[in-house]
């Protein structure tokens, strides 16, 4: 029995080592190029050496609406070190986005997303979905659903210490 388990244990160890190497490579945030609401092209690579929160959201999503004031406050609080990019997944309601931004007083960049961008981030299974990216461009945290402001603020503060 021991003779059978030993090769299996070695196989599991090797698979673990290779899966961790792959995972480490996958933590790099993928670059993208999307149009902002005001027609400018925005690339994630434009924000090197900044902490970035990417927030996939939609105007028709109640949890997204509830989280927007927290993102506005975080942008104000950490304005010199933080960039928030709201990626709107509104397809049928795309014309509503500019008015929505104005009525909510959104103070961060909003771009129109697409399926390709969502796939770059491993797919978006629900909204809001947010990613916290460090100054080196690595994804350090992911949240599906509404996330408390304190959780994001603590993540930002932790990254500022490094």
Domain count within the chain: 1
Residue the block writes with tokens 């994630």: 44
Give a yes or no: residue 77 inside a domain. Answer: yes
Note the pLDDT of residue 126.
94
Mean pLDDT of the chain: 86
Nearest to 30 by CA among 90, 120, 110: 120
Q: Give the CATH number, domain containing residue 121.
A: 3.40.30.10
Give a yes or no: residue 56 inside a domain. Answer: yes
Note the pLDDT of residue 64.
97
How confident is the model over 9-15, as a mean pLDDT? Answer: 33
Task: Give, rounded to a whole angstrom, the gap between the first and last alpha carbons of the chain.
Answer: 48
Catalytic position from the list 36, 61, 96, 120: 61
What's the CA gap between 31 and 46, in Å, rounded? 9
* CB-count burial class (<10 Å; 0-12, 13-18, 19+) for 117: buried
Give a yes or no: residue 4 inside a domain. Answer: no
Catalytic position from the list 34, 37, 42, 64: 64
Nearest to 71 by CA among 41, 110, 35, 39: 110
Give a yes or no: residue 40 inside a domain. Answer: yes
Q: Which of 12-26, 94-108, 121-135 has the lowest mean pLDDT?
A: 12-26
Write out the residue range of the structural domain in which residue 111 sits: 29-161
Has 61 been annotated as catalytic?
A: yes
Cis peptide preceding 130, ω within 30 of 0: no
Give a yes or no: residue 59 inside a domain. Answer: yes
- Contact criterion met (CB below 8 Å) for 32 and 62: no
Give a yes or no: residue 17 inside a domain. Answer: no
pLDDT at 104 over 70: yes
Give a yes or no: residue 61 inside a domain. Answer: yes
Give a yes or no: residue 6 inside a domain. Answer: no
pLDDT at 68 over 90: yes
């Amino acid at each position: 029995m021991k003779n059978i388990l030993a090769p299996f244990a070695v196989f599991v160890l090797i698979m673990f080592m290779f899966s961790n190497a792959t995972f480490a490579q996958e933590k790099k945030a993928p670059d993208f190029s999307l149009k902002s609401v005001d027609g400018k092209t925005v690339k994630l690579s434009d924000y090197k050496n900044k902490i970035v929160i990417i927030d996939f959201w939609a105007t028709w999503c109640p949890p997204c609406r509830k989280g927007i004031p927290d993102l506005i406050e975080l942008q104000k609080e950490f304005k010199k070190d933080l960039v928030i990019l709201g990626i709107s997944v509104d397809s049928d309601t795309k014309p509503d986005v500019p008015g929505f931004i104005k009525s909510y007083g959104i103070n961060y960049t909003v771009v129109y997303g697409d399926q390709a961008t969502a796939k770059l981030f491993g797919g978006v299974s629900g909204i809001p979905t947010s990613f916290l990216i460090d100054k080196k461009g690595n994804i350090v945290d992911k949240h599906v659903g509404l996330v408390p402001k304190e959780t994001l603020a603590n993540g930002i503060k932790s990254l500022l210490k490094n």
